[in-house]
């Protein structure tokens, strides 16, 4: 069994990514750590607990940081809905998180099994950055960290230059980028190509006819409405499920090593990821980037896990 730990700001795409890992036959999800992002922390915790229960699992869910390291919390409720799960009336309250702090769980789980845990991050990197500050050995203990974040081909989504997870807490990104942690990044550009689900794809996924496929489609209404209004697109993107598909089957992506830096602070370029494609900085590569993922491969991995 492969051992995963998922850090998430649980909203409509995160929940599908979590579901994919929970239903992958060769993966054990050791824990789910939650960070504020798409929705405030408490709601993200409840959304994660709901998803675990939907999958009939008992994976522990731990609350983490309720705001970025330096910046005020910004949410994406205008995209994912007030509850983060499409506002379709799901019962998203009253479930109990495990006791303990997400930062401690990240450290204890990963450092307790050096080289064995794949960390998949689906939200702002606040929890991971604080864990690295508390225990720098985390960087060498993790097997790999697959990150949904960044925009390596512009535009971004939250600004023309930046993707939401990295914009939300760019200082956390810098801490993670400088930690030496083995990072495989899945950017926003891939989400809008390989990770885009059009109405035909939705119909095929719904035709799978399970509660998992219905859940996957039914909670995406907010994202679909947002994309229709903003860019006139029909359908929705699934950035976190795409990152999870890469974590589950890295061979679906071309993977390149790059030097990437992030813009911190609060200026117009906040959260921008700057890729040294030609190596002109002379700086060593610090990340891997997944690119050119075939949409058919993403849909294959996703569909298999919804049956």
> Rule CB under 6 A: which residues touch ligand RIB?
9, 11, 13-14, 37-38, 76, 122-123, 148, 157, 163-165, 188, 239-240
Q: Which does 261 bind (CB under 5 to 8 A by kind): Ca ion, ligand RIB, none?
A: none
41 binds Ca ion (CB under 5 A): no
Q: Hey, which residues does 273 pair with through a beta bridge?
A: 262
**What's the token pair of residue 212?**
């998992």
Min dist CB 80 to Ca ion, Å, is 9
DSSP per-residue string spanning 243-303: HHHHHH-GGGSEEEEE-EEE--SSSTTTT-EEE-TT-TT-PPP-EEEEE---HHHHHHHHH
Q: Which is nearer to ligand RIB, 13 or 171 (CB)?
A: 13
Min dist CB 14 to ligand RIB, Å, is 5
* CA atoms lying within 13 Å on the CB side of residue 307: 7
- In sequence order, what E strands does the chain have? 2-8, 27-34, 61-63, 117-121, 144-148, 183-186, 196-197, 236-237, 254-258, 260-262, 273-275, 287-291
Min dist CB 163 to ligand RIB, Å, is 5
Q: Positive or negative, the Cα torsion across 216, 218, 222, 223?
A: positive
Closest residue to bound ligand RIB by CB: 164
Min dist CB 122 to Ca ion, Å, is 4
3-state secondary structure of 2: strand
Alpha-carbon Rg for the chain in angstroms: 17
Min dist CB 9 to ligand RIB, Å, is 5
The CA distance from 73 to 169, in Å, is: 9
The span of 10-18, 220-228, 251-259, 272-280 binding Ca ion (CB under 5 A) equals 10-18
Of 7, 9, 13, 240, which residue is the catalytic one? Answer: 9
Q: Which does 152 bind (CB under 5 to 8 A by kind): Ca ion, ligand RIB, none?
A: none
The interface with Ca ion within residues 98-127 (CB under 5 A) comprises: 122-123
Instruction: Assess whether 83 carries a catalytic annotation.
Output: no
60 binds Ca ion (CB under 5 A): no
The CA distance from 129 to 113, in Å, is: 19
Q: Which does 126 bind (CB under 5 to 8 A by kind): ligand RIB, Ca ion, none?
A: none
The residue within the footprint of Ca ion, chosen from 7, 14, 83, 201 (CB under 5 A), is: 14
- Are 277 and 172 in contact by the 8 Å Cβ rule? The answer is no
Q: Which is nearer to ligand RIB, 11 or 132 (CB)?
A: 11
- The set of catalytic residues is 9
């Amino acid at each position: 069994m492969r051992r995963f730990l998922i850090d998430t700001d649980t909203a409509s795409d995160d929940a599908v990514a979590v579901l994919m890992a929970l239903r992958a036959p060769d993966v054990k999800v050791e824990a789910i750590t939650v960070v504020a992002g798409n929705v405030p922390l408490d709601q993200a915790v409840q959304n994660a607990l709901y998803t675990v229960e939907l999958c009939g699992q008992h994976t522990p869910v731990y609350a983490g940081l309720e705001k970025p390291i330096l910046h005020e919390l910004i949410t994406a409720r205008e995209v994912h809905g007030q509850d983060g799960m499409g506002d379709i009336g799901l019962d998203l309250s009253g479930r109990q998180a495990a006791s303990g702090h997400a930062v401690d769980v990240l450290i204890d789980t990963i450092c307790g099994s050096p080289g064995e845990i794949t960390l998949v991050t689906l939200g702002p990197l606040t929890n991971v950055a604080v864990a690295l500050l508390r225990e720098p050995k985390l960087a060498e203990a993790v097997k790999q960290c697959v990150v949904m974040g960044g925009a390596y081909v512009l535009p971004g989504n939250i600004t023309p230059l930046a993707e939401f997870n990295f914009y939300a807490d760019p200082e956390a990104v810098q801490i993670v980028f400088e930690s030496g942690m083995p990072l495989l990044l899945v950017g926003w550009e891939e989400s809008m190509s390989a990770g885009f689900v059009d109405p035909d794809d939705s119909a095929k996924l719904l035709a799978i006819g399970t509660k998992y496929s219905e859940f996957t489609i039914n909670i995406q209404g907010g994202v679909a409405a947002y994309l229709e209004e903003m860019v006139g697109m029909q359908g929705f993107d699934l950035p976190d499920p795409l990152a999870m598909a890469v974590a589950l089957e890295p061979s679906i992506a071309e993977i390149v090593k790059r030097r990437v830096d992030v813009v911190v602070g609060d200026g117009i370029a906040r959260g921008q990821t700057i890729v040294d494609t030609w190596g002109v900085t002379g700086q060593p590569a610090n990340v891997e980037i997944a690119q050119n993922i075939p949409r058919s491969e993403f849909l294959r991995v996703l569909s298999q896990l919804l049956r």
